[in-house]
Amino acid sequence: MELTRPNGKLYRSRKPPAAEFFEGDWFDKTYCLVYRCEDENEARALADEEIRFNDPACQAGDGVFSWWRKTIRNNESYWEHDNVRGVPGWSFEVVEYRP
């Protein structure tokens, strides 16, 4: 996959997309981040699979595309927006399953 970053530089992924849970700024909310992925449908499918593996009663809610970089904040891993060194990905809020 090749994408152009907001700063005009080229991003080339050497690894496949991956999904990961993380806590948001509000601890009562959980998110699933699918990184190294630009296609929303593919990202949502990966997020739903990861979410259902951890909690079958939940699914992916609204998604936001951005550039993400994993950092350390307060001695814990944290995903933050970074248009220069981040990877492309979708962040989905984890919500209760609604058929």
Instruction: Name the pTM for this structure.
Output: 0.87
Does residue 38 sit within a domain? Answer: yes
Any domain includes 9: no
The yes-or-no verdict on residue 33 having pLDDT over 90 is: yes
Please tell me the predicted confidence (pLDDT) of residue 98: 72
The reply to whether 10 falls in a domain is no
Kindly state whether residue 6 falls inside one of the protein's structural domains.
no
Q: Where are the beta strands (DSSP E) in the chain?
A: 2-4, 10-12, 18-23, 30-35, 58-73, 76-81, 87-96
pLDDT at 30: 87
| Domain of residue 29, residue span | 16-96
What total number of domains does the chain contain? 1
Tell whether 34 is covered by a domain.
yes
**23 DSSP β-pair partners:** 30
Instruction: Establish if 8 belongs to a structural domain.
Output: no
Phi-psi sector, 36: left (phi>0), alpha (psi -120 to 50), beta = left
